Structure 1
Amino acid sequence: MSEAKVSHLSNYDLWESWKDGGQIEAKKQLIEQYLPIVDYVSNRLAIGLPKNVSKDDLASNGVMGLIDAIEKFDYKRGLQFETYASWRVRGAILDGLRQGDWVPRSVREKSKKIEEAYQQLEQRYLRNVTDAEMSQYLEISEKEFHQMLQDVAVTSVCSLEDPIRDEESETRLSLLIDEKAKNPDYKVNEFFLKESLVKGIEKLTEKERTVVSLFYYEDLSLSEIAEVMSLSPSRISQLHSKAILRLRGSLEKYKSQLLYN
């Protein structure tokens, strides 16, 4: 089929031409049509990343994820491609970031130290701990603690996408996906995961819960959240980092229950 004819096809016809007819021109048009998904996902993931991480690299990995999604998507099932593609694009970008070892070891160590501090102090006091208490526990000033939060903000992007165990590919986020499995082990793990996340979210401060809600459920950027909450972008970044680290601490506490035996 000629390029002129393909250009007038409907979205469904493009999928049909590519999947059933194997027409490369239809595939190219599908890629061009859904490229905004790559821009959207890569721009969101770019928030808080170090300056040495190129947005072009993020987009390049994202395009590979989009192409993979187009090749594997079954249009006959009536599912929404945008949702499917977003996860594929996001996964491809995160895989690229991990392979590039984009987070310095010192930053990962800071993140782990803060996460463990939250876990220890909240278990000791059975309440939200203050920045002053965290600073005292870590033996640093509050100003230095806030700077640590700013430094580790880059690690929160992949927190739920990171493997549960270093030697495995399964992530915490994968346990949230309903694959309609009948396996009772899956149901038990799903129950404990949701329970631990609910308990973790309940322990967050009101501002931290607001940031998490606006960022992950309303799809606002950190700068947009800053405008909504009348706070500086750096403060929103700190609140986001604190929330993610505390949630990771909650998941770590229930780790033995969350993992398959």
Structure 2
Amino acid sequence: MRDFESKMPAARSAALPSGVSASSTLRRPARSGLLHARLDSAARADTPPAAPMDVTVRRDGEAEAEILAVWEQYKLCRTAALRERLILHYAPLVAMVASRVGMRLPSSVEHADLVSYGMFGLIDAIEKFEIGRDVKFETYASSRVRGAILDELRAVDWIPRSVRSKARAVDRAHADLEGELHRAPSNTEIAAHMEITESELRGIQGQVANVNLVALDEVLGAGDRIEQVSALDTVQQARSHDPARTFEAKETKFLLSQAMEQLGEREKIMLVLYYYEGMTLAEIGRVLGVTESRISQMHTAAMTRLRTKLTTSEGL
């Protein structure tokens, strides 16, 4: 029994973690269950896990070393397989630059088109990059990718760059005046702000009117309970009828027929021959047996009476 009791302290010390003595464990005061849980959770929060961070750093270092080896091999032999690995590795850089450029472009420009334009800049940057210089490839390639996107946009743009610059100048002037006046500025105020005449401003506005384009398949409105509507759906059909205009035309014809019923027989014949048959005043005069001047007087008197009747009817 005495031998067992003498071996207990040594066994207890061996079971404890390194750096923790048995005496300190014996002197630790008792804690309640809630206090014990809070202190343990705080201790775990203060101790950051070292293994995941080490793994992340080691993985990043391995990736950098691997891509550097690919660069060195590509500069020696320049094979298509190595270039493809570099393109795939830096493809997210192209998407990021394309997103930044697309933020200031109209919605009609597709993001996929910008990415395809930027890929040409990435390939050119890979071909011309020198690994011996103290410059990161991402920094060098970003400018080349952005330049390739802008060059391609200018190439496919059918609007001259001078008109684009004028449009931006008008927009800036409008925005500045709107911020100062707290209302929409007039053309006179915009022209004075730009130090040009109103006629020059109208000429610029006429050129700028052809700049903005809208794709017919672009969705203009959408909602939870509203069906998506494209620009093509909002274009008025050539054969569609306006109910208001149709009703107005029918009413005008009805009032005109009533007014013509109050004219004389010779006046009716004269109006039919002139407006429906397309005859001249001289020809109508020969048909009715009167002179051309008389037909002109009859036409003026008939039109005055019809205008008075229609004006009176609209007033009612």
Q: TM-score, normalised by structure 2?
A: 0.35
Q: TM-score, normalised by structure 1?
A: 0.42
Q: Which has the higher contact order (CA 8 A, sep 6+)?
A: 1
Largest Rg, 1 or 2 = 2
